[in-house]
Amino acid sequence: MTDLKERALAYHELPRPGKLSVESSKPCATQAELSLAYTPGVAEPVREIARDPENAYRYTNKGNLVAVVTDGTAILGLGNLGPLASKPVMEGKAVLFKRFANVDVFDIEVQAPSTEAFIETVVHIAPTFGGINLEDIGAPQCFEIEQALKARLDIPVFHDDQHGTAIVMCAGLLNALEVQGKKVDEIRLVCLGAGAAGLACMKLLIAMGGRKEHMTLVDSKGVIHTGRSDLNPYKQEFARDTPIRTLAEAMAGADVFIGVSGPDLVTQDMVRSMAPRPILFAMANPDPEILPAEAHAARDDVLMATGRSDYPNQVNNVLGFPYIFRGALDARAKAITQPMMIAAARALAALAKEPVPAEVLRAYGLERLGFGRDYILPKPFDPRLLERIPPAVAAAAGEA
């Protein structure tokens, strides 16, 4: 761990601090070029944009520029450490946008005294951007923020902790169900974690054929049931009329476990109590709800996924957000809709069933890889992601 800490700090500090820089996309080496880049030539696109705001997409980088915005209230698994501490994560998000989908990003860390102030700040800066990616914002405020911004802005607003997680999880789960011989409308499912990610995962899964009456959500106080008086409106939507109160009780006979909570919360006995051919998506980072070795030791028919890259079946948001925004920007979409999310999930799931290119095998030091229990999602460095996901998203945007 010390070695990782030292390498990570050196990576971020050297040879120059941070992970981002701004580079000019046009030459500016002569007097003539300077006169075009700035005064007097710059007046011409100014006039054109004033005449028709849509011309901003023609003469500026607005159409390929996304704001990654946070208040730092829910940084990874580290909690509320404030906006400044979140900047390395936001810069990292920008690197992924650029590396995987050639989308430019400004990271924006907002010190807002209230939810309303945060919303107003984003509304006021929105003209600069072609899209807004909300990141690392605590629940339930994140729901209010996203809803307000979607209503007030005419560019895509996307909370990746919610919808990015849901899209990749649903893609993986569709394939896991196929491998395990189960149907999405028949499974009994337990979701541990009822914050932004958990609730979004359940909503998208319902839109893709899952049944709410078969879903049991569990938070830090136990099963979310109709007898509880401490539920916010977002959790209340999933409250069940049930005598089940604990995670252990909920896991008995369940087909699927979805974890977006914390480490070591699922025991081997819980895994043993599940239905035949169970599916476990233990996605807490960096330490999952149960380690794959423990789950496989408890059952030899388990299909296991985590959020980590050092185990098979990583549920990684980088499979989603760069390509979803690429598709939305290419389509000049004014919002990222549920049909666009479903299109992304289905395209992602379909790609995992195709033969894996040799360059992907080399990147991961593998001799072979094929659809099955240890490969239900494409690898992040698969170049076909850029070919498949954005067109599917753009097509769904055009159908809206």
Give the catalytic positions in this structure: 38, 93
Strand extents, DSSP E, 135-288: 157-159, 189-192, 215-219, 222-223, 256-259, 279-282
Give pairs for 80-89: CB < 8 Å, separation 24+.
80/138, 82/111, 83/109, 83/110, 83/111, 84/109, 84/111, 86/135, 86/136, 88/12, 88/18, 88/19, 89/135, 89/136
Looking up tokens 């810069």 gives 91
263 phi/psi in degrees, rounded to 5: -75, 145
Helices (H), 210-282: 233-236, 247-251, 268-272
Q: Which two tokens stand for residue 8?
A: 């990570």
**Nearest Cα to 109, choosing from 195, 27, 18?**
18
Pairing of strands 189-192, 104-109: unpaired
DSSP type of residue 318: G
Helix axes 338-351, 196-207, angle to 10 degrees: 80
